[in-house]
Structure 1
Amino acid sequence: MTRPGRGRPSHVPTDETRNLVESLSGFGIPQDEIARLVGIDPKTLRFHYADQIELGSIKATAKVAQNLFTMACKPTREGLSAAIFWLKVRAGWSEYAPKRVEEPLGKKEAAERDALTAGDGTEWGRLVN
Protein backbone atom coordinates (compact mmCIF):
# COMPACT_ATOMS: atom_id res chain seq x y z
CA MET A 1 0.00 0.00 0.00
CA THR A 2 1.46 3.41 -0.97
CA ARG A 3 0.68 6.52 0.92
CA PRO A 4 -0.26 9.60 -1.07
CA GLY A 5 2.07 12.57 -0.76
CA ARG A 6 5.19 10.49 -0.20
CA GLY A 7 8.33 10.88 -2.32
CA ARG A 8 9.18 13.41 -4.93
CA PRO A 9 6.42 14.58 -7.29
CA SER A 10 6.63 13.46 -10.91
CA HIS A 11 8.38 15.83 -13.27
CA VAL A 12 6.09 17.40 -15.89
CA PRO A 13 7.89 19.03 -18.84
CA THR A 14 6.68 22.48 -19.89
CA ASP A 15 7.30 24.44 -23.08
CA GLU A 16 9.65 26.65 -21.09
CA THR A 17 11.78 23.74 -19.82
CA ARG A 18 11.78 22.11 -23.28
CA ASN A 19 13.11 25.32 -24.85
CA LEU A 20 15.67 25.73 -22.07
CA VAL A 21 16.96 22.16 -22.45
CA GLU A 22 17.16 22.49 -26.25
CA SER A 23 19.08 25.77 -26.02
CA LEU A 24 21.51 24.58 -23.36
CA SER A 25 22.12 21.33 -25.21
CA GLY A 26 22.86 23.32 -28.37
CA PHE A 27 25.40 25.42 -26.47
CA GLY A 28 27.20 22.24 -25.41
CA ILE A 29 26.30 22.37 -21.71
CA PRO A 30 26.74 18.88 -20.16
CA GLN A 31 23.55 16.96 -19.34
CA ASP A 32 24.39 16.80 -15.63
CA GLU A 33 24.48 20.60 -15.48
CA ILE A 34 21.29 20.99 -17.52
CA ALA A 35 19.52 18.55 -15.16
CA ARG A 36 20.73 20.55 -12.17
CA LEU A 37 19.37 23.80 -13.67
CA VAL A 38 16.00 22.19 -14.39
CA GLY A 39 15.99 20.61 -10.92
CA ILE A 40 15.82 16.95 -11.95
CA ASP A 41 18.04 13.88 -12.09
CA PRO A 42 20.08 13.37 -15.29
CA LYS A 43 18.16 10.13 -15.97
CA THR A 44 14.87 12.05 -15.73
CA LEU A 45 16.30 14.67 -18.09
CA ARG A 46 17.17 12.02 -20.69
CA PHE A 47 13.77 10.35 -20.26
CA HIS A 48 11.63 13.48 -20.69
CA TYR A 49 13.87 15.59 -22.95
CA ALA A 50 15.63 13.14 -25.29
CA ASP A 51 14.34 14.95 -28.41
CA GLN A 52 15.31 18.39 -27.11
CA ILE A 53 18.81 17.19 -26.20
CA GLU A 54 19.36 15.76 -29.69
CA LEU A 55 17.64 18.57 -31.60
CA GLY A 56 19.46 21.31 -29.69
CA SER A 57 22.81 19.95 -30.78
CA ILE A 58 21.66 19.41 -34.38
CA LYS A 59 20.15 22.89 -34.69
CA ALA A 60 23.24 24.58 -33.23
CA THR A 61 25.56 22.70 -35.58
CA ALA A 62 23.36 23.58 -38.56
CA LYS A 63 23.35 27.26 -37.58
CA VAL A 64 27.14 27.38 -37.26
CA ALA A 65 27.57 25.49 -40.55
CA GLN A 66 25.22 27.95 -42.28
CA ASN A 67 27.20 30.90 -40.92
CA LEU A 68 30.52 29.29 -41.94
CA PHE A 69 29.19 28.59 -45.43
CA THR A 70 27.99 32.20 -45.76
CA MET A 71 31.43 33.45 -44.66
CA ALA A 72 33.21 31.04 -47.02
CA CYS A 73 31.32 32.50 -49.99
CA LYS A 74 32.52 36.06 -49.31
CA PRO A 75 35.59 37.41 -51.14
CA THR A 76 37.39 38.50 -47.95
CA ARG A 77 40.32 37.23 -45.92
CA GLU A 78 37.86 35.73 -43.42
CA GLY A 79 35.98 34.16 -46.31
CA LEU A 80 39.16 32.56 -47.58
CA SER A 81 39.93 31.12 -44.14
CA ALA A 82 36.36 29.83 -43.81
CA ALA A 83 36.49 28.30 -47.31
CA ILE A 84 39.78 26.53 -46.59
CA PHE A 85 38.41 25.19 -43.30
CA TRP A 86 35.19 24.05 -44.99
CA LEU A 87 37.06 22.25 -47.76
CA LYS A 88 39.45 20.54 -45.35
CA VAL A 89 36.65 19.34 -43.09
CA ARG A 90 33.85 18.67 -45.58
CA ALA A 91 35.71 17.85 -48.80
CA GLY A 92 38.72 16.08 -47.31
CA TRP A 93 41.27 18.54 -48.71
CA SER A 94 44.70 18.48 -47.11
CA GLU A 95 48.05 20.08 -47.84
CA TYR A 96 49.55 16.80 -46.64
CA ALA A 97 47.69 14.62 -49.13
CA PRO A 98 49.99 12.83 -51.56
CA LYS A 99 50.27 14.45 -54.96
CA ARG A 100 48.54 12.63 -57.78
CA VAL A 101 51.02 11.14 -60.19
CA GLU A 102 49.70 10.34 -63.63
CA GLU A 103 50.69 6.95 -64.86
CA PRO A 104 52.68 6.99 -68.08
CA LEU A 105 50.70 6.25 -71.22
CA GLY A 106 51.19 3.02 -73.10
CA LYS A 107 52.47 3.03 -76.70
CA LYS A 108 49.00 2.99 -78.25
CA GLU A 109 47.59 5.71 -75.99
CA ALA A 110 50.64 7.94 -76.58
CA ALA A 111 50.38 7.46 -80.36
CA GLU A 112 46.66 8.31 -80.29
CA ARG A 113 47.30 11.43 -78.19
CA ASP A 114 50.10 12.51 -80.53
CA ALA A 115 47.89 11.96 -83.59
CA LEU A 116 45.10 14.10 -82.12
CA THR A 117 47.44 16.97 -81.23
CA ALA A 118 49.90 16.72 -84.14
CA GLY A 119 48.65 19.86 -85.86
CA ASP A 120 48.37 22.04 -82.78
CA GLY A 121 50.11 25.38 -83.26
CA THR A 122 50.63 24.94 -87.00
CA GLU A 123 48.87 26.13 -90.11
CA TRP A 124 47.73 22.56 -90.75
CA GLY A 125 46.16 22.43 -87.34
CA ARG A 126 43.99 25.46 -88.09
CA LEU A 127 42.89 23.90 -91.39
CA VAL A 128 41.99 20.54 -89.88
CA ASN A 129 40.17 21.91 -86.86
Structure 2
Amino acid sequence: MALDFDLLGDPIPEGFGKRGRPVHTPTDEKRRLVIQLMAFDWSVEQISAALSITPPTLRKHYFRELKSRAEARFRVEAKLITALMTEAEAGNVSAIDKYFKRFEKHDTRVPKSAQGKAPKAQPLGKKEEADRLAKTAHENSSWGQLVN
Protein backbone atom coordinates (compact mmCIF):
# COMPACT_ATOMS: atom_id res chain seq x y z
CA MET A 1 0.00 0.00 0.00
CA ALA A 2 1.52 3.30 -1.10
CA LEU A 3 1.31 6.30 1.18
CA ASP A 4 0.04 9.54 -0.25
CA PHE A 5 1.36 12.86 1.03
CA ASP A 6 -0.25 16.30 1.14
CA LEU A 7 1.42 19.51 -0.06
CA LEU A 8 3.24 19.98 3.28
CA GLY A 9 4.72 16.49 3.20
CA ASP A 10 2.45 15.01 5.86
CA PRO A 11 0.97 11.58 5.15
CA ILE A 12 -2.70 11.68 4.20
CA PRO A 13 -4.55 9.68 6.86
CA GLU A 14 -6.74 6.79 5.90
CA GLY A 15 -10.36 7.88 5.51
CA PHE A 16 -9.47 11.43 4.51
CA GLY A 17 -12.36 13.08 2.70
CA LYS A 18 -14.98 11.03 4.49
CA ARG A 19 -17.28 12.28 7.24
CA GLY A 20 -15.66 13.66 10.35
CA ARG A 21 -12.30 15.14 10.96
CA PRO A 22 -9.24 13.01 10.11
CA VAL A 23 -7.38 11.44 13.02
CA HIS A 24 -4.33 13.37 14.18
CA THR A 25 -1.17 11.34 14.52
CA PRO A 26 1.66 12.99 16.44
CA THR A 27 5.14 12.58 15.00
CA ASP A 28 8.60 13.35 16.37
CA GLU A 29 8.88 16.25 13.92
CA LYS A 30 5.61 17.76 15.16
CA ARG A 31 6.71 17.28 18.79
CA ARG A 32 9.92 19.20 18.05
CA LEU A 33 7.87 21.92 16.35
CA VAL A 34 5.62 22.27 19.41
CA ILE A 35 8.70 22.59 21.67
CA GLN A 36 10.19 25.22 19.34
CA LEU A 37 6.98 27.25 19.26
CA MET A 38 6.59 27.00 23.04
CA ALA A 39 10.15 28.33 23.41
CA PHE A 40 9.10 31.40 21.42
CA ASP A 41 6.05 31.97 23.67
CA TRP A 42 3.39 31.02 21.15
CA SER A 43 -0.04 30.48 22.69
CA VAL A 44 -1.83 27.13 22.58
CA GLU A 45 -4.27 28.55 20.03
CA GLN A 46 -1.45 29.70 17.73
CA ILE A 47 0.37 26.35 17.96
CA SER A 48 -2.80 24.39 17.28
CA ALA A 49 -3.52 26.61 14.26
CA ALA A 50 0.01 25.98 12.97
CA LEU A 51 -0.57 22.21 13.22
CA SER A 52 -4.14 22.47 11.82
CA ILE A 53 -5.68 20.89 14.90
CA THR A 54 -7.91 22.12 17.71
CA PRO A 55 -6.50 23.23 21.09
CA PRO A 56 -8.04 20.22 22.91
CA THR A 57 -6.37 17.86 20.42
CA LEU A 58 -3.08 19.68 20.94
CA ARG A 59 -3.39 19.29 24.73
CA LYS A 60 -4.34 15.62 24.34
CA HIS A 61 -1.39 14.59 22.15
CA TYR A 62 1.31 17.06 23.23
CA PHE A 63 0.70 17.49 26.97
CA ARG A 64 4.36 16.83 27.85
CA GLU A 65 5.60 19.42 25.41
CA LEU A 66 3.08 21.99 26.69
CA LYS A 67 4.02 21.38 30.34
CA SER A 68 6.47 24.22 30.78
CA ARG A 69 7.45 27.15 28.61
CA ALA A 70 10.68 27.70 30.52
CA GLU A 71 11.64 24.06 30.08
CA ALA A 72 11.01 24.32 26.34
CA ARG A 73 13.21 27.40 26.14
CA PHE A 74 16.00 25.70 28.09
CA ARG A 75 15.80 22.58 25.89
CA VAL A 76 16.03 24.63 22.71
CA GLU A 77 18.91 26.71 24.07
CA ALA A 78 20.74 23.55 25.17
CA LYS A 79 20.42 22.08 21.67
CA LEU A 80 21.74 25.31 20.16
CA ILE A 81 24.73 25.35 22.48
CA THR A 82 25.44 21.69 21.69
CA ALA A 83 25.29 22.41 17.95
CA LEU A 84 27.60 25.40 18.39
CA MET A 85 30.08 23.31 20.36
CA THR A 86 30.03 20.56 17.74
CA GLU A 87 30.73 23.08 14.98
CA ALA A 88 33.42 24.82 17.06
CA GLU A 89 35.19 21.49 17.67
CA ALA A 90 35.11 20.88 13.92
CA GLY A 91 37.01 24.15 13.43
CA ASN A 92 34.19 26.44 12.31
CA VAL A 93 35.52 29.92 13.15
CA SER A 94 32.08 31.53 13.03
CA ALA A 95 30.76 28.98 15.54
CA ILE A 96 33.74 29.61 17.82
CA ASP A 97 33.02 33.36 17.72
CA LYS A 98 29.32 32.84 18.50
CA TYR A 99 30.20 30.43 21.29
CA PHE A 100 32.45 33.03 22.94
CA LYS A 101 29.76 35.69 22.51
CA ARG A 102 27.38 33.40 24.40
CA PHE A 103 29.93 33.18 27.21
CA GLU A 104 30.20 36.98 27.32
CA LYS A 105 26.41 37.31 27.34
CA HIS A 106 26.20 34.77 30.16
CA ASP A 107 28.86 36.59 32.19
CA THR A 108 26.88 39.83 32.00
CA ARG A 109 23.79 38.03 33.36
CA VAL A 110 25.62 36.86 36.50
CA PRO A 111 24.34 38.87 39.49
CA LYS A 112 26.75 41.43 40.89
CA SER A 113 26.55 39.86 44.37
CA ALA A 114 27.93 36.65 42.91
CA GLN A 115 30.93 38.58 41.53
CA GLY A 116 32.05 39.60 45.04
CA LYS A 117 30.46 43.05 45.19
CA ALA A 118 28.20 44.15 48.02
CA PRO A 119 24.49 43.53 47.45
CA LYS A 120 22.28 46.52 46.72
CA ALA A 121 20.60 48.03 49.78
CA GLN A 122 16.83 47.70 50.02
CA PRO A 123 15.01 51.02 49.47
CA LEU A 124 13.33 52.49 52.54
CA GLY A 125 9.59 52.77 52.85
CA LYS A 126 7.79 56.11 53.22
CA LYS A 127 7.70 56.03 57.03
CA GLU A 128 11.33 54.95 57.41
CA GLU A 129 12.45 57.65 54.98
CA ALA A 130 10.45 60.35 56.81
CA ASP A 131 11.89 59.19 60.15
CA ARG A 132 15.44 59.30 58.80
CA LEU A 133 14.91 62.80 57.38
CA ALA A 134 13.44 64.03 60.68
CA LYS A 135 16.47 62.79 62.63
CA THR A 136 19.00 64.39 60.27
CA ALA A 137 17.17 67.61 59.36
CA HIS A 138 19.44 69.75 61.58
CA GLU A 139 22.65 68.67 59.85
CA ASN A 140 24.33 71.18 57.52
CA SER A 141 22.22 74.07 58.79
CA SER A 142 22.57 76.88 61.31
CA TRP A 143 20.31 74.91 63.67
CA GLY A 144 22.82 72.05 63.86
CA GLN A 145 24.79 73.61 66.72
CA LEU A 146 21.67 74.27 68.78
CA VAL A 147 20.34 70.70 68.50
CA ASN A 148 23.58 69.01 69.48
TM value normalised by structure 1: 0.48
* Greater length-normalized contact order (CA 8 Å, ≥ 6 residues apart): 1
